[in-house]
Amino acid sequence: MKKWRNTIAFIALIIFIILQFIPYDKQMNRPVKGQDLFETATIPEDIGQLIKSACYDCHSQFVRFPWYANIAPVSWLVAKDIREGRESLDFSVWNTLPKREQLKLLDEIAEEVIEGTMPIDIYKVMHLEARLTDEQRDSIVSWADSFAEDLLE
């Protein structure tokens, strides 16, 4: 029985090591100066902190890659989440978006934050600062609504 356990553990270790050599599509940071939300809009400091801690790692070109983002198969999931996050909303290109698109995105931000679907659950497991309280969620929604109104003026 012990021999089988050791054999299985050895095989698992070999598979784990081999997985590290399988390439993945790591989403590199490529910010463009003057296009980021924080460079083009005035964001209240408290809201800015919330957005940066709960949103920016998937929705910007300023991703902070934690240690586990380089270890397969977790690295594949991280790359996928960032790719999909940037496809739906990339704060780093905010200034390039038409106002209509910005308004739509602000509405989606408010909706997903208030419903609790953002940030995604798996992100909150390793990023305690991304766990938003109801009060913080309400603050982000109020900001998004107010920012949308300002865009309409």
Reported as a single tens digit per residue, the pLDDT across 104-133 is 999 999 999 999 999 988 888 888 899 999
pLDDT band at residue 153 using 50, 70 and 90 as cut-offs: confident
pLDDT band at residue 66 using 50, 70 and 90 as cut-offs: confident
| Inter-residue contact 88 to 120 (CB < 8 Å) | no
Residue 18 has pLDDT above 80, yes or no: no
pTM: predicted TM-score of the whole model, two decimal places? 0.79
Query: To the nearest 5 percent, what fractions of the chain are helix, strand and coil?
Result: 65, 0, 35
Q: What letters, b where the CB count within 10 A reaches 16 and e where it falls short, cover 121-143?
A: eebeeeeeebebeeebbebbbeb
What's the rounded mean pLDDT across residues 14-19? 68
CA atoms lying within 13 Å on the CB side of residue 14? 6
More confident residue, 65 or 134: 134
| Cα-based distances in Å from 98 to 46, 93, 94, 103, 109 | 26, 11, 9, 9, 16
Hey, what amino acid is at 124?
K
